[in-house]
Amino acid sequence: MSSPTSDAKDPPDLAPPLSRSVTPTPAFYSLTPIISRISGRTHHHSSERVNDGFDNYPPPLPSDPVQLQRVLTDRPDVERQLSGVGPPPDGGFEAWAVVASTVFVLFCVHGLVTSFGVFQAKYLSDQLSAYTRSQVAWIASVQLTLTFAGSLLAGRYFDANGCRLLVILGYFLSIGALIGLAFSTKYYQFMLAHACFGISGSVLYTPATAVVGHWFLKKRGTATGIVSTGVGLGGVIYPIMLNRLFDTWTFRNTILVLAGMNAVLMLPSWFFLNARLPNRTPPPLRQLKAPFKEVRYTMLLLGSVMVMMSWFVPYFNAPLLASSNNLSPSLQSYAVTILQAGSMTGRAGCGFLSDRLGVYRVFVTSAICCGITVLAFWTGWPMPTPVVVVGLFIYGLVSGPWIALVPTACAAISPVKELGMRVGMIWTLSGFTLLAGPVAGGQLVQMNSGRFTYAGIFCAIAFFLGALLIVSPQIVDRLRDRRENIEAKRLSTAAPSERSSVESATRV
């Protein structure tokens, strides 16, 4: 395979500045066999490696030995992602079949989870009319928490054994939960049915989002953006479909039709949702603490947990924003749909942008824009109807890319063999905060006489703080490099005697 061209550039969000001078050391010659092995390895799913910039081509590495050593020293994740299994194919039937299967899985599972507002309105007016709104809302909180809380176990199993058994288990558990929901008549039965559906989402979500990292590297952002549109599309279609079916059919028949539709749409995942890595013995449990020794991953996890705490609060309170600003009843019923339409649009475009601009630039910018949007469009009162509709759509537009790029941001700094575990750790810890965030948002709404002003300020602070935590390692690195550059310039302009004395003091 020919060497990368000299004008190839590193991803803008990961490439460190090359301002410091680097002298080749013996460590570089120990890295040479690794690069030779990576460059010469043929992927077991493809008979040819084509240097066309798209398929079967590892990330561009600089040809200059000094720069190559610098990249491998400061970016060990590049070598770790490629070593042992070879570069992902970045295309082909198997890879895109995985993407298509994942779209259907996320469409069915998270389309229903994010449409709970429709179920809540139905329960309060019919099956659970004797219960308060907060009691019914606990069903949503438990379902949402369970959807993410089990991701660590699912991710650990996925890393060791692939996703076939997880897909089959999640398939039957989700369909069984919907059938149980169709025949539920009491509060505890509804709670158990939604809890089982949440567990099925936890079993399916981690492998469905992490498996893309097995098959794509250069196009990973694009593939992840396509996959995440399944969630947004489900969030648009499910509320409209449920509202129409509840108006014409009984609750039981509606849920049974939903179960049958999900069973058909998720069936291809049995055959096409496959991991690329061979099965291996799972690492010991003490290995779970190893990622926390990496500053970038730790800050990514803490920042993601902070953002997730408030990420769903506007989704749960979209009808409240519409009603508190006196929108028409028809617009109030479609408030979640408007928000989800924006989310689908943002998810669809985030992959292309992340591949062009860098994953972390789009990822962090999305969190910052969430805070700005909430402050600009959700905290004022009263607001005219066009402003409310635009605010709903824009929040979906800027929030969708963030949650879609969490696995991609994690994959950019993680070895592929640990990707499921690391993504699962983020989702699991985030899942527990989902019990606190929506509840705190609801209390703030109640304190503010049913308005979203206090809750909006709370969400914005969480978004800004989370973005700062995620980007803090890059800020520290840039400040350190800037300080070293200033020192280097000062030494280069200093008198020879002064330079000699400074260098002698540095050696001491």
**What whole-number distance in Å separates Cα of residue 311 and Cα of residue 315?**
8
Cα R_g (the chain), whole angstroms:
25
Q: Is the pLDDT of residue 171 over 60?
A: yes
Q: Is the pLDDT of residue 277 over 80?
A: no
60 within domain boundaries: no
Q: What would the pLDDT profile of 385-416 be if each residue is shown by its tens digit?
A: 899 999 999 999 999 889 888 888 888 888 87
Q: What would the pLDDT profile of 493-502 be if each residue is shown by its tens digit?
A: 765 555 566 5
334 within domain boundaries: yes
CA distances from 422 to 7, 110, 324, 354 (A): 33, 21, 41, 20
Q: What would the pLDDT profile of 55-86 be if each residue is shown by its tens digit?
A: 223 344 444 444 544 444 444 444 444 445 56
Residue 316 has which token pair?
A: 């749960």
Give how many domains the chain has, as a whole number: 1
Q: Is the pLDDT of residue 20 over 50?
A: no
Nearest to 166 by CA among 117, 129, 140, 199: 199
25 within domain boundaries: no
400 within domain boundaries: yes
- Looking at residue 157, its pLDDT comes to 84
CATH number at residue 470: 1.20.1250.20
Residue 506 CB neighbour total at 10 angstroms: 9
Q: Is the pLDDT of residue 507 over 60?
A: no
Q: What is the mean pLDDT of residues 163-171?
A: 90
Tell me the backbone φ, ψ of residue 18, rounded to 5 degrees: -105, 35
Which is more confident, 133 or 169?
Answer: 169
Q: Is the pLDDT of residue 18 over 80?
A: no
Which is more confident, 368 or 327?
Answer: 368
Highest mean predicted confidence (pLDDT) among 267-281, 318-332, 467-481? 467-481
Q: Which residues contact 154 (CB under 8 A, 6 or more apart)?
A: 166, 202, 203, 204, 205, 206, 207, 420, 424
486 within domain boundaries: no
76 within domain boundaries: no
- Looking at residue 172, its pLDDT comes to 95
- Looking at residue 297, its pLDDT comes to 93
Q: Is the pLDDT of residue 112 over 50?
A: yes
Q: Is the pLDDT of residue 458 over 80?
A: yes
Lowest mean pLDDT among 40-54, 89-103, 114-128, 451-465: 40-54
The pLDDT-based confidence of 12 (bands split at 50, 70, 90) is: very low
The per-residue pLDDT of the chain, averaged, comes to 78
- Looking at residue 2, its pLDDT comes to 43
- Looking at residue 61, its pLDDT comes to 45
Structural domain that includes position 259: 93-279+287-474
Nearest to 477 by CA among 75, 59, 80: 75
Q: Is the pLDDT of residue 296 over 50?
A: yes
- Looking at residue 506, its pLDDT comes to 54
78 within domain boundaries: no
Lowest mean pLDDT among 7-21, 50-64, 418-432, 446-460: 50-64
- Looking at residue 504, its pLDDT comes to 60
Q: Is the pLDDT of residue 178 over 90?
A: yes
